[in-house]
């Protein structure tokens, strides 16, 4: 049976490269699964305890301030309890904003609609509430409609977290809080980042074969009309157009269709920030707790990141093939230029020394 990585029609060099890529991709997938399971095992217990503690502290605060008694007294004062709940939500949002934790569009709307806080509690009670909210926000916990968010360390989220680590995107929306989790993250990156870069480089080397065939086709069809430099520019433009369409435009449309709170510009912005490995973290797919198939969606987003990074690296390699765009040439000289400069310097020094010693003076 002729498999895609060993087919006789493929050159022996590329056949070996295909096999290496297949084995590397398989190992990387297992590496991601193992990393997701380990970080989930380390962090999930702490995350659940933090959520339980926050829920208990909030319930205790509500009880101390008579919110529960008001809820049982009459329907007339139930609106005040709702206002208190909205005020608590606003405090959570305000605290997250002060901490630099990004707000979703739904939370931003909630912040606008919430009425001002109406607590009549001692100052120490308010300070304690803010302290609890701050601790919860640092652990990625927040309130939405008086319901706490889902755990941070589901398998899908852990898989996505592992993918952002080894791809160096690193959004920062979810991060380890335990000492063991932080230590594991360091070790995981030390192993995973070089492995990922090596695999992506091998994939790009394989992808350059069809790119070179495209350039040869352009030479055949347009060689009588344009110079070699112009053909190179057309080739770069073609690769750039394909990148914009298939890596940015279409995925942005898909993300904006799935993420109901994202505009198309938000989704395109997310794709650009992610694939340039900036990773600001203000947008993250699957952040909505009501998202259907969140785990599968997170895994698909991780695959998109890896594939998109390969395409970005292919475009940069194609761009650097054009001498005018190869900025490295301005800073790093090739071996031939260095040899010529060394020989010129050596002969210039000999000539100068000979003149000084009077060998050519008569």
Q: Tell me: the pLDDT tens digits for 242-280?
A: 999 999 999 999 999 999 889 999 999 999 999 999 988
Give this prediction's pTM.
Answer: 0.71
Assess whether pLDDT exceeds 90 at residue 288. no
Rounded Cα gap, residues 122 and 65, in angstroms: 10
Measured CA to CA in angstroms, residue 323 lies from 225, 231, 328 at distances of 21, 13, 10
Highest mean pLDDT among 39-43, 57-61, 68-72: 39-43
Domain boundaries, the chain: 46-148, 327-354
Indicate the pLDDT class of residue 143, thresholds 50, 70 and 90. low
Within 10 angstroms of residue 174's Cβ, the number of other Cβ atoms is 21
The whole-number pLDDT of residue 182 equals 95
Between these two residues, 314 and 78, which has the higher pLDDT value? 314
Q: Tell me: the pLDDT tens digits for 196-251?
A: 999 999 999 999 999 999 999 999 988 888 888 889 999 999 999 999 999 999 99
Q: Which two tokens stand for residue 360?
A: 């050519």
Q: Percentage of residues in the chain with pLDDT exceeding 90?
A: 41
- The per-residue b/e assignment along 246-280, b for 16 or more CB within 10 angstroms, e otherwise, is ebbeebbeebbebbeebeeebbbbbbebbbeeebe
Least confident among 36-50, 236-250, 336-350: 336-350
Rounded to whole angstroms, the maximal C-alpha distance in the chain is 119
The whole-number pLDDT of residue 269 equals 97
Q: Tell me: the pLDDT tens digits for 112-135?
A: 455 444 444 555 766 666 666 666
Scanning the chain, the segments in alpha helix (DSSP H) are: 12-64, 67-73, 78-98, 105-113, 123-138, 155-166, 179-222, 228-243, 250-258, 264-275, 294-320, 335-357
Q: Which two tokens stand for residue 66?
A: 């008579």
Q: Count CA within 13 A, CB hemisphere, residue 241.
A: 6
- Give CA torsion, residues 103, 104, 107, 108, to 10 deg: 70
Rounded Cα gap, residues 142 and 173, in angstroms: 13
Q: Tell me: the pLDDT tens digits for 151-172?
A: 788 899 999 999 999 999 988 7
The whole-number pLDDT of residue 352 equals 46
The whole-number pLDDT of residue 297 equals 93
Q: Tell me: the pLDDT tens digits for 61-117?
A: 777 776 654 444 444 444 544 554 555 555 555 555 544 555 555 555 555 455 444
């Amino acid at each position: 049976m002729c498999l895609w990585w060993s087919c006789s029609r493929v050159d022996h060099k590329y056949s070996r490269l295909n096999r290496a890529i297949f084995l590397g991709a398989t190992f990387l997938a297992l590496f991601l699964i193992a990393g997701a399971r380990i970080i989930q095992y380390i962090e999930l217990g702490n995350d659940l305890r933090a959520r339980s503690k926050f829920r208990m502290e909030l319930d205790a605060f509500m009880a101390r301030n008579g919110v529960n008694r008001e809820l049982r007294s009459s329907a007339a004062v139930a609106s005040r309890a709702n206002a208190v709940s909205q005020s608590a939500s606003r405090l959570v949002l305000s605290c997250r904003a002060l901490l630099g934790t990004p707000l979703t569009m739904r939370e931003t709307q909630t912040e606008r609609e919430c009425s001002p806080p109406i607590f009549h509690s001692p100052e120490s009670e308010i300070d304690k509430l803010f302290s609890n909210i701050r601790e919860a926000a640092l652990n990625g916990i927040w309130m939405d409609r008086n319901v706490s968010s889902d755990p941070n360390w589901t398998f899908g989220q852990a898989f996505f977290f592992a993918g952002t680590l080894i791809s160096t995107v690193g959004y920062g929306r979810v991060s380890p809080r335990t000492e063991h989790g932080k230590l594991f993250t360091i070790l995981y990156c030390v192993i995973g980042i070089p492995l990922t870069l090596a695999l992506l480089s091998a994939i790009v080397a394989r992808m350059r074969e069809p790119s070179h065939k495209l350039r040869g086709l352009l030479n055949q069809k347009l060689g009588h009309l344009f110079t070699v430099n112009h053909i190179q520019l057309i080739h770069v433009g073609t690769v750039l157009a394909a990148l914009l369409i298939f890596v940015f435009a279409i995925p942005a449309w898909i993300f904006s269709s799935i993420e109901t709170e994202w505009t198309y510009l938000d989704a395109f912005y997310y794709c650009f920030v992610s694939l340039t490995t900036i990773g600001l973290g203000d947008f993250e797919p699957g952040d909505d707790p009501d998202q259907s198939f969140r785990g599968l969606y997170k895994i698909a987003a991780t695959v998109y990141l890896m594939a998109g990074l390969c395409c970005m690296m292919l475009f940069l390699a194609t761009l650097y093939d054009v001498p005018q765009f190869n900025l490295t040439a301005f800073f790093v000289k090739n071996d031939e230029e260095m040899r010529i400069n060394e020989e010129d310097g050596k002969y210039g020094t000999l000539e100068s020394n000979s003149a000084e010693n009077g060998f050519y003076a008569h």
